[in-house]
Chain A
Amino acid sequence: MSLFLVISALVIVTIMVFSSHWFAAQNLRQMRSLIDRRQSSLLARSAIACAVAQITDQMRLPQSGIAVTLQNPSLATGTSLPIDQAPLQDLISLSPRSAARVAVWISRLEPLSPKLLGVTTGGADEVERSLLLHFRAEGDCGGCTTVIDEERELRVLSLVPGVLGKFTLFVRQVEPNPDAYNLFANTLDGLPDDRESPDTWMLPVVFSAGGGLDRGQVNPDQPESYRERGYFYLGGGRVTLNVTAGNHDEFGENFTFFQLGTPPKQPSYFPKNPPDFFSPPPGFSANRHPQSLNGADLPNPFAFILNFIVAGFHTTDANGGDMNLQDRLSVSFPKPPVRCDPRMRSSVLHLFGSRVNPSPALVLGEVYRRYAEYAGVVVDCTGNTTRDAILGCIPQSNDGLAVPALFPNVATACVSGDLRPGTEIRMDENWFRPGNIFPSQDEYRTWSSHLKTEPYLQAYDNLFFSQPGGFGAKQSFFGGPVSTCDLSFHPSLARSVPFFQNGDLEKLPKEFLLGKAVYRVRDQKEFFRLFTSGSDGSLELDGAVVVPGESAGVLALPSPGILRKGGILIVEQGNVRIGRLEPGPDPYQMLTVVVLDGDVELDPAQGGRANVYLVALNGTVRTLDPSRPIDLRGGMAVGRLAPNAFPAGGQVVFDSAFDPTADSMKYLYRAHLSDITRTLVVQREM
């Protein structure tokens, strides 16, 4: 009996215990399942992180599958991105019985700035787009599968300011007075004129349009040498820039009239030393005539040569109203001519660099250059083309052949000739009549001294692309045909950058670059905390960052600063101050500063260069220290530019990395994924 009771009790206890065990096992399995679910969820999320990282990384590698896909202008909805699953295999190697995979495809696609894509502005880059990416990630662990479907916006953006980055200098609206920029008082040699009052002293800003320039190897039909150069646009109105005369290395602009790629003497090509003062004009038919000689110490016969000189812009009065050097020009000058030392006022914008660093580029808009060409008669006693004496300049005249005598028949040997300076040279009596030198009145007009005003575009013709039918205009850069700024691009330029053609850049809204924003900070304090480093003034953007408006505030970038990661800084209101900003080790990290309602202040006090592209389409760029020259590498696009903005002059060097037509452009697209996601998570157990 008792045994029966014991066994019964034992059975009951056993049943209870094993029930308990079963429940415990169930509990354990649930716990394990919970853990597996968490691990599978982690794996799925890691798979998405892996895909995001690949998209971010590969956009920096133009040859990568993802970059090729996303930079394809004909990209369509539904296209899958090639995501490498190998990193996920490494991840799951630590977790037995687990697996992970991810797929990404495009579920929506639209231009970033639809309003800007029209032909009215021509400012939008069609590679820059907003995409909705669909991520599907699966993580398996111990039979538990987590599937995450996530949608995130992806913006494909370039780190440069689009079409504006093509310009060394872009001014939407210039001063209404066409002569407003002719404020540089200089001498015949191109030196600053020390007779100028210190209050009005102005030095020129010398622009260098970037790109390499091999003086000996330039091929006029080689568009590549022209390609990565920053253009100039000085508004739609008329601007006349007086060319600075002389052979000064830094300021003289005579070099713009000589061709590249030709023998150094005829015509000269940017010689360090001044070109031959009177070099033979090509095609002139009556340039040499034998004379009998009455000086016993001179060879007989000798010759005179009619030659040509380009001497720039001259004025003999302080306000620049008289351009008649030595009374040789006859257009619109005061009578009687003012007798004084020649003075000049030439442009404070030197668009073609300097003699030692010439830099041809395209100048768009109704921009003219003005200069005087002086023709002279020289004496060559020995026939070796050496100038032994200068008889004088040939005056401008519509009726030049009627002039009885141009010069007396006696000249004095000059320095650097074959004769002793001061030696008297006597030639045939009454011979120097225009009719003896010029075959016709037209020839006289062509070769006599005169003042020229011509479109600045012709200057690049002289430097590079003068061949008719060669590298020339076929399509208008701007909306309609404008006689002086018709311009088109060589097919090799246009092929990969269709957005760059056509459109009216004057219609670019000031918010043009705001659509690129991927991060908006609350205030300046947050900007400095997130994107700068206090220790060495490093800037690290890697995207377009918007700083909200502070109308009275000035956002001063670290100076000296170092650009570690480039990007676009967009300031909505207030000014931005930039001092010295050095580039980081990566040549493709550039900074663009955009001020929507305000100005850019350059602070040259610390010396050194600011490596930045400046955009202030509703404002201007000015210097905080008028006594110091500015030094900018990048470019500037402004709404207006005061002629006296930079009294001490300076230099602006175009950085071709900003050029949207440059080969380097493909390195500058970035993929930015939104933090805001729409996520659906499904978990299931097998």
Chain B
Amino acid sequence: MRSPGFRGTTLLEVIVAVAILGIGLLPVINVLTTVSRTQRLSQEELAATCWAEEVIEQLQSMPFEAVQPCTDLNLGGIASITPLWPAFPDSIVITRPLPKDMEARLDVFLTESPSLKWMTVRVFWGSGPVHNVTLTAFTEWRL
């Protein structure tokens, strides 16, 4: 039973309210989308960083001679036990599989020092804007 003073909600009011809600939610949705994308990106960056660091650590623990100079060496199939450089059986890197849609490249440069090599691991992903993580480090000669 309705109260005597209650006259109901007109269709117009509902339409206006929905419109206001809709307009108000637009930036909210936008923010939610951004938040979601940012979180995904940061997780991807972390995963890429961890993966690249793992590769670098394994390269650093390889025999110095086994780390050969290279440019843009595709590390996509790195989870297998195939040596990176076939002439050096010790040049095996075993890591977790590279996350989906990611690619990785390795550059190894000689330096002026015969006991030092410069390594760069680049991991990149994304179909639209390409995201990437680049880690650089030295590896030194050991007996």
Contact = CB atoms under 8 A, between A and B. Distances in A.
B140 interface: yes
B124 interface: no
A87 B20 CA distance: 61
For this complex, into which size category does the number of interface residues on chain A fall? 35 or more
Query: What does DSSP make chain A's interface, helix, strand, loop or mixed?
Result: helix
Interface in B91-122: 111-116, 118, 120
A486 interface: no
Given A2-B13, A3-B16, A6-B21, A57 B114 contact: yes
A49 B143 contact: no
Interface string B67-91: 0000000000000000000000000
26 contacts: A1-B9, A2-B14, A2-B17, A3-B13, A6-B20, A6-B21, A10-B20, A14-B28, A24-B38, A25-B38, A27-B39, A27-B42, A38-B50, A38-B53, A42-B135, A42-B136, A46-B138, A50-B113, A53-B115, A56-B115, A57-B115, A87-B116, A94-B136, A95-B134, A95-B136, A673-B142
Interface in A495-549: 518-519, 542-543
B113 A57 contact: yes
A95 B43 CA distance: 20
Interface residues of B, number: 46
A94 B95 CA distance: 24
Interface in A193-214: none
Contacts of B39: 24, 27-28
Contact of B140 (A10, A49, A672): A49
Query: What does DSSP make chain B's interface, helix, strand, loop or mixed?
Result: helix
Contacts of A24: 35, 38-39
Contacts of B50: 38
Nearest to B19: A6
A642 interface: no
Interface of A: 1-3, 5-7, 9-10, 13-14, 17-18, 20-21, 24-25, 27-28, 31-32, 34-35, 38-39, 42-43, 45-46, 49-50, 52-54, 56-57, 87, 90-91, 94-95, 518-519, 542-543, 672-673, 675
B5 interface: no
Nearest to A16: B28
Given A6-B21, A35-B49, A42 B137 contact: yes
Q: What 9 A-B pairs are tightest by C-beta distance, nearest first?
A: A53-B116, A31-B42, A53-B115, A10-B24, A49-B140, A24-B35, A46-B138, A49-B138, A6-B17
A439 to B, nearest CB: 74
A7 B28 contact: no
A8 to B, nearest CB: 11
Contact of A21 (B35, B135, B141): B35
